[in-house]
Every structure is written in structure tokens, then in C-alpha cells.
Amino acid sequence: MNHQPKNRISRKGLTVWRLYGMIETVVVALLLAGVGTLTYFFDWPNWIYAAAGGLLVLFAFLFIYLFPKIRWERWRYEVRDQEIELQHGLFIVKRTLVPMVRVQHVDTEQGPILRKYDLSEISISTAATTHTIPALITEEADELRSRISVLARVAEDDV
Amino acid sequence: MSEPRYKLHPISALINFLKGLKELILPFVIIFGANLFREDGISGMFNQGWQGLLPLLVGGVVLVFMLIAGIIKWKRFVYWFEDGELRIEYGLFVKKKRYIPFERIQSLNYIEGIFHRPLGLVKVKVETAGSGKAGQAEAELTAIYRAEADRIEQEMHMAKRGYAAQAETADEMLYGPVEAQPLREEVADEPARVLYRMSMKELLVLATTSGGIGVVISGVALFLSQFSELIPYDAIYEEVMLFMRFGYLVVALTVFAGLLLAWVISVAMTLIANYQFTIHADEERIYITRGLLEKKKVSVPFNRVQGIKMTQNPLRQLFGYVHVTVESAGGTLTDKDEKIRLFPLVKQEKMKPVLDELFPDFDWSPELTRLPKRSRPFFYRLSIVWFVPAFAALGYFFYPYGLWALAVIPVIVAMGLWQHRTAGYAISGRQLTAQFRGISLHRFYMLKKRIQVVAVTRTIFQRRRDVASVHATIKSGMLGATALVPNLSREDAEEILAWYEPSRQRQKVDHEQTKNPQPNEIG
């Protein structure tokens, strides 16, 4: 547990997460604007404005700046011949070990925002679970996908 | 068409009809129920000439149609064996054919309903690994004679012998290697041995201590919520107010009587469902039969067994009773009802020899490594934090009595300490045993080759105290089941991870091989 998996996800992943954070912040801002309007029309106390403003700033700070940063710094992965190791998590750091023999199939996937940044996410499925590495350069992801699928076929069970 | 075609027993027509009827009960109840609450009630329907009778007419037509449909379904259904496949042809309007290769069949489950038993018939559910919808069998033979069911099984065994080699490679790709089964050939026709039969006493203990009462109560609640619009609450309310005058004692007694009744019903249901619970086994499969009115037989191939789980709620733990389930891969086992309960309830001493016989690979009572003292706070601290808003609210609004809520804290702490004392793990050879407690105690036994993924999680607080939680996931049904060892010391978590990691394992094996070249001993 002292050594960490080697590889990090793409730096652009951080940008994408910040973008997601901004979208979420806009949604929250709209909700809070709704509260503000209600406050105006129903003469609710003025401190509600201040609270809403404060909440928005806090939300923006957490979801645009802090959380993506921590998540990105935490995210590590490593694909070895016999296993895949993943580490991620904001509050709870999770280290996952997936033996190659257990890998059933590997998918890459790319939404519109990821495509714009030339990123893909790669999902590794076992018989019971699915694990996703969220932001890799598309080329890298494709390469990794074929590498894992080759390794998964070759891997032998010795126990 | 040299192969003989077989038909189902004619009673299937009746069963089909009744099954269709069952689905129609709710609409019917609603139609007639709604009329019941109309001004002039049911009799009004007959006073309004033919228009009032319209619902009845429609109902009648539907009934006749269902009956005919049931008969046609039976007439059209044929099955036969050809080219190592079970072939079925059926269909009401569209003729459908379904060919199921025998080596794909995972299990044949027999169910004997009330209509089957007097005639010596069974309903056969054919299950394959990739059955489409959850809870739905690949094919269903509504009613055939026992001997015919045995014939299918025989055909399957015969076909499987021929295909055994291929089937095993297919299995290996999916679920890891299948254990070598040198005895398979000779034993295939040997009748299954009876390993365990549930005693009446155990059955009674099971029925009286099971949580089935919740099911009954929620069922009643659901029923009430479904029909709430039809129930004249105002009238009932007045009745109740009158009733209330009799005093709280009567009310309390009624509530108690209601709960008692629900409990009695749940006991009866459990008794009927698990009557004559028996475990048989042959070389390939475990068979479980149970039931009084509807006799169910479930079979589990040994090579699909992913792990064994034991559960003890505190009450049963006190008396040394255990509930054992088998986690098995694939099939239609997502259905809760079909969960494979190896022992619904058994005395610990009685279970051991049976398990030893069924799964000789497992070590059933390994020495557990317990948790370090420093991990104790993790079991209650967070739950107390969750309760703080409740304490604050109660303390504020119901001062001073609300402060009694704080009395919950010692309970939480005691529970947490108990969870801490219960949890532990053991690594013995290729087996991982994980034990943890929610309220009930859970213990998972699993082999390394069946564990799909191992994960270690740490919060910031856990990192500070140098502890970590370990999660091991095995395949269960269509999904996974996760065994947990919470708040282990970091070194122990590391040990589990190292035990599981294939490349570290390989290094160790290589090392041992150079030291002591006896490859047979390893693995």
C-alpha cells in the first residue's frame, strides 16, 4: 500500500472535470436564483440572499476547483501482465486489484465533451463488476484496450 | 423425423388457463369491486338491462377465450431430442421453435404444484447460463410425468458425456477452470445421496424466528394502498372513533392480535415452503427439494458454486443456529425466491459434516485474525455523527425529555464494539474467509480462483490510524456479492492483497519451485 500504481490519467481529464463542475454550478445557480426570486416576491428575510450567494461560491470552489484537483491527483492506474491495479477516490481512497484472468471484456467509450478533448474512458468488466478509468487520450485508451484484451486471453490461472 | 415427439400432460391446458386467470384477477376485482361501491351495488348491474350486464358479458367472453387459448397452447406444445439438443415447438398464433443444446443447460428445476402431485406430474424449468430476462427460465414444460422428466435428464447426461470436453473449455473461459472430475463417467447414473433432511424441530425454529412477518405486514400494507380508493374510509373512521371509546387497552389488544395473526401466517407460510427440506448430491450437482403444497427441486452444479455464505442473526446465534446460502454463478437466480439456501436453518454441529462432504476443498473453521484495538472507534463514531442532527432537533423541540434520545449513544457504542469483536479474516491456502457483522453475523468462504476483484478502501481517518477495509467480490447470480472485512490493520490488508495479486503470487511460486522442484504440490 506504500507503493502507488504508476500511471496517471490525462491532464486534460482535470479540465473536463472542471467543465462538469461548471455545468453543475450553473444548475445550482439557477436553483438558487429561483430561491432569490421567491425571497423577493414574498419578502422573506434578507439574509437568504447572503446565504444563497455564499452557498454558490462554496459550491463553485468545491466542485470546480478543489474536488477535481484531489480526484485527479488521486487517480492512478497500472496495467501489468497479470493484473490491473486502480486507485481513486475523493474521501475514500479505493485500491482495486483485478487479475487479468478475471477480465471478461474491455470497452472504450467517449461522450461529446470527452471527444472534444480527444479523450476516452475505458471500462474493464469482470463477471461480477465493471471498473472505469475515466480520462485517457483516445489513442492511449485504444492501445490499452487491445493490450488488456491480449493479456486477458493469455493470462493463465495457476491456482 | 425419426425422433419421437412428446406432448405435455393434458392437465397443462387447465394450468395454462388458471395461470392466465390469475393475471386477470386484479382487473376483475377492480371492475366488480367498483360496481360494488356504486349506489345500488351488484344487483344494480342486473336492473339496467343488457348494458348493466356488459362487464359480465365481456368477462365471460374473456374467460372462454382464455380457456381455448390454454387448450391450444397445450395442443401445440411438443418437445423432442435431436442432435444433442432439447427441441421445443410451441406458440398460440405464431409457431415458435426453440433448440437448446444439452451442454448449455445448467439445471433442470422441478416444481410440483397442487395439480401436479395427485397425478405424479412435475413442472420442469430448463435454465441456461445466459437466460434472457431475470427470473425467467429458458424453457418451461408445464406438466409432464416424472418418468418423462427423468428421460430428459438421461438424454442430457448422455449428450453431455459426448460433449464433456468441449463444455469444460467453455466453462473455463467463463468462470475459471473446472475442478477435475475423474469420477463423472461412472457416477452419472448413480442416484443422488441424501445428505441432510431438515428435522421438524429445526423447521419450527426456522419458522418462528424468521423475519417473514415483515413480508406479511408489508403485503397487507401494499394491498391496502392498492385499494385505498375503493375503501370507504369515512365509514371506517367513524367505526374506529366509536371503537376508540372502548379505550386504549382494546386498541392495543387488537393491534397485538393483528400482529400475532400476521406472525402466525408467516410461520405457516415458512412451514409450507420449507416442509421436508432435503439436500441430495451426486458427483456433479447438489439438489435441494422442499415444499408441502408446491414441491420445489433446485439443482446447483458444483462447478458453478462461487462461495458459501453463513448468516446468524443475534437470536439464532444465541442458540447456535446458522443460515447457509450458496452463491452460484448465472442462471435465473436474481429472483430472491430462488436464492439457493443450502440450509435455511441448521445447528452448527450438524452442518459441518454435510459441508465437509459437499465441499471438501474448504476449511470450515479457520483461525480468524481479528482487528486491532485502534480500529474500534470506526465502528461507532460515524453513526453517532449521523445521529447528531436528530439529537439536536429532539433536544431543542422536546426539551428536556428529548434529551433522553442521548440514551441511544451507549447502544450504538455497544453495537459498534460487538461488530469490532466479530469482524475478522483468515487466509488458509487458497481460501479467504471474511467475517463481519451488520446486526446479523455474516461469514463468507471463498476460494481465490472464484474471487473476481479485491479492493482496499481507506478514508482519511483510517489512513491516520493506519487501518483499511478490504472488499472481496465474487460472482453471484447475474451480479456480484461482496464480502467485507472492515477496519483491518494496514499490514493485514496488505497481506490479503499480496495473497490475491497474481504476479506476486507467481514470483513466490517461481521462488519455491527453484528451491523445491515439485510443481504438483503448488496450487
**Is some CB atom of chain A closer than 8 A to the CB atom of B226?**
no
Nearest chain A alpha carbon to B179: A159
Distance CA(A151)–CA(A103), nearest Å, equals 9
**Contact A92/B459, CB-based, under 8 Å?**
yes
The beta-carbon neighbor of B503 closest among A81, A91, A127 is: A81
Strand spans (E) along A3-155: 7-8, 76-79, 83-88, 92-99, 105-109, 119-125, 130-137
Q: Amino acid letter at B502?
A: P
Alpha helices (H) along B3-97: 11-36, 41-47, 49-52, 54-76
Of B176, B457, B463, the CB nearest to A94: B457
Please report where in the chains the cell 392437465 appears, as a residue.
B11
Distance of CA A137 to the CA centre of its chain: 14
Q: Searching chain B, which residue's CA lies closest to the CA of residue A155?
A: B502
Substitution target in A3, A129, A153, A154 with the highest count of B β-carbons within 10 Å is: A129
Do B178 and B303 contact (CB within 8 A), yes or no?
Answer: yes
Q: Which of B100, B168, B130 is closest to B478 using CA atoms?
A: B130
Which chain B residues are Cβ-neighbours of A153 within 8 angstroms? none
pLDDT value at residue B117: 81
B523 lies within 8 A of chain A by CB: yes
What pLDDT does residue A94 have? 94
CA atoms of B126 and B108, how far apart (whole Å): 5
CA-angle at B269, arms to B302 and B333, nearest 5°: 30
User: Helix B408-422 to helix B381-397 angle, to the nearest 10 degrees?
Assistant: 170
Positive or negative, the CA dihedral B229, B230, B235, B241 is negative
Angle (CA) B418 B421 B422, round 5°? 85
**CB-based contact (8 Å) between A157 and chain B?**
yes
Q: What pLDDT is stored for residue B48 in this prediction?
A: 63
Cα distance between residue A15 and residue B40, in whole Å: 71
What is the pTM (predicted TM-score) of this model?
0.70
Tell whether A132 is within 8 A of chain B (Cβ): no
A30/B contact by beta carbon, under 8 A: no
Across the interface, do A97 and B500 touch by the CB < 8 Å criterion? yes
- The CA-atom distances, in angstroms, between A116 and each of A12, A15, A23, A26, A63 are 11, 12, 16, 20, 21
Q: How much is the pLDDT for B188?
A: 40
Rg (CA), chain A: 21
Residue whose C-alpha is closest to residue A62's, from A99, A109, A24: A24
- Residue from the list A101, A128, A157 with its beta carbon closest to the beta carbon of B480: A128
Whether residue B496 lies within 8 A of chain A, CB to CB, comes out as: no
**Nearest residue in chain B measured CA to CA from A156:** B176
Chain B closest CA to A40's CA: distance in Å?
Answer: 29
Strand ranges, E, within B313-387: 321-328, 341-347, 369-370
* CA distance linking residue B80 with residue B74, whole number of Å: 15
| CA distance to partner chain A, nearest, from residue B324 (Å) | 21
- DSSP assignment of A40-58: HHHT--THHHHHHHHHHHH
pLDDT mean over A64-85: 93
Do A126 and B509 count as a contact with CB atoms less than 8 A apart?
Answer: no
Nearest residue on chain B to A96, alpha-carbon basis? B455
Q: Are B281 and B197 a contacting pair, CB within 8 Å?
A: no
Residue B435's DSSP bridge partners are B424, B443
Q: Does A3 touch chain B (CB under 8 A)?
A: no
B494 touches chain A (CB under 8 A): yes
Low-confidence residues in chain B, pLDDT < 70: 1-2, 31-52, 128-138, 162-191, 211-235, 243-249, 330-339, 477-478, 505-523
Concatenated DSSP letters for B112-152?
A: E-TTTGGGTEEEEEEEETT-SSTT--SEEEEEEEHHHHHHH
**Angstrom distance (rounded) from CA B434 to CA B480:** 16
Contacts of B213 (CB under 8 A, 6+ apart): B259, B262, B263, B266
> At A66, is the pLDDT very low, low, confident or very high (cuts 50, 70, 90)?
very high
> What average pLDDT score do residues A100-111 get?
88
What was the ipTM of the complex prediction?
Answer: 0.85
Query: Do the chains contact at A95 and B175, CB–CB below 8 Å?
Result: no
Kindly indicate the confidence band of residue A122, based on its pLDDT and cuts at 50, 70 and 90. very high
Q: Which of B453, B491, B495, B503 to mutate to test the interface with A (most CBs of A within 10 A)?
A: B453
Prior bond to B389 cis, omega within 30?
A: no
Burial-class residue B305 by CB neighbours within 10 Å (0-12, 13-18, 19+).
buried
CA distance B206 to chain A (A): 31
pLDDT at B50 (0 to 100):
64
* pLDDT tier at A159, thresholds 50, 70, 90: very low
Are residues B490 and A128, on separate chains, in Cβ contact within 8 Å? no
What is the reported pLDDT for B131? 44
Of the candidates B176, B457, B474, the beta carbon closest to that of A93 is on: B457
What residues of chain A, 68 to 107, have a C-beta less than 8 Å from chain B? 80-83, 89, 91-102
CB contact under 8 A, B502 and A129: no
**Residue written as grid cell 504438483:** B520
Choose between B181 and A91: higher pLDDT: A91
Among B177, B497, B509, beta carbon nearest to A157? B177
* Of A156 and A17, the one with more pLDDT: A17
User: Do A127 and B459 make contact, defined as CB atoms within 8 angstroms?
Assistant: no
pLDDT at A136: 92
Contact call for A128 and B473, based on CB within 8 A: yes
Sequence-distant (≥ 6) Cβ neighbours of residue B175 within 8 angstroms: A127, B303, B304, B329, B450, B475
| Minimum-distance CB partner of B430 among A83, A127, A159 | A159
Collapsing DSSP to helix, strand or coil, B185 comes out as helix
